[in-house]
Chain A
Amino acid sequence: EAGVTQFPSHSVIEKGQTVTLRCDPISGHDNLYWYRRVMGKEIKFLLHFVKESKQDESGMPNNRFLAERTGGTYSTLKVQPAELEDSGVYFCASSLDLDTGELFFGEGSRLTVL
């Protein structure tokens, strides 16, 4: 069974440009999460989808970040326009049950904003 896949694995963009990160969760997992790790800091929650609905987006830094989950399957996270402080590793995770803390993570998308 395929795990959580993320694309791209690494993206380097200029400040002001747009980047879209994609996450394909494990098939059948209704819960999809985005987390981010900035260098030297702990992993931070961004948002949580249940199927196609945003359950909790309290961790989204500002309105330059837009997350979508089409038809309750894959999800995209768009950063527009990117700023230097957006650099970090963006992790996607999925889970079958809402109340579990057992999340299945992808390998992450490393974003570098120059």
Chain B
Amino acid sequence: EDQVTQSPEALRLQEGESSSLNCSYTVSGLRGLFWYRQDPGKGPEFLFTLYSAGEEKEKERLKATLTKKESFLHITAPKPEDSATYLCAVQNAGNNRKLIWGLGTSLAVNP
């Protein structure tokens, strides 16, 4: 069964303190792995798509990487506005297009 596990569940950082979030997955053929950000009371907001092991994507202070078993979201010198829940999802290579989601990592960045 396709599954996504994210760790840690929650993370508190000081402004400027870099860290990484983990997303481990098992899927019957990976079509893509996706990172989303969700703010309280809002829907998820797309960040990155990764398709194959070794691929990396960057956006401002965020960098996502992918291996055959997991993905990392690296946050460099975070700011308070980076506080949010970060969600990881995968799409398998079958005929359907549904996303399978992890529970997310709740990130709080203190000024």
Return A54 CB to nearest CB of chain B, in Å.
12
Q: Count A-side interface residues using an 8 Å CB cutoff.
A: 27
Q: A7 contacts the other chain (Cβ, under 8 Å)?
A: no
Residue in A43, A45, A105 whose CB lies within 8 Å of B45: A105
In the complex with contacts A55-B97, A56-B98, A105-B34 CB distance below 8 A = no
Q: B89 contacts the other chain (Cβ, under 8 Å)?
A: yes
Q: Which residues of B from 22 to 36 have beta carbons under 8 Å from A?
A: 31-32, 34
What residue in chain A is nearest B47 (Cβ atoms)? A102
In the complex with contacts A101-B91, A102-B49, A59-B43 CB distance below 8 A = no
Q: A104 contacts the other chain (Cβ, under 8 Å)?
A: yes
Extra A-B contacts (13), CB below 8 Å, given A43-B99, A45-B99? A31-B97, A42-B102, A42-B104, A43-B87, A45-B98, A56-B96, A56-B98, A58-B96, A100-B49, A101-B32, A101-B46, A101-B91, A102-B49
The reply to whether A99 and B87 contact each other, CB–CB distance below 8 Å, is no
What residue in chain A is nearest B32 (Cβ atoms)? A101
Residue in B41, B46, B99, B100 whose CB lies within 8 Å of A107: B41
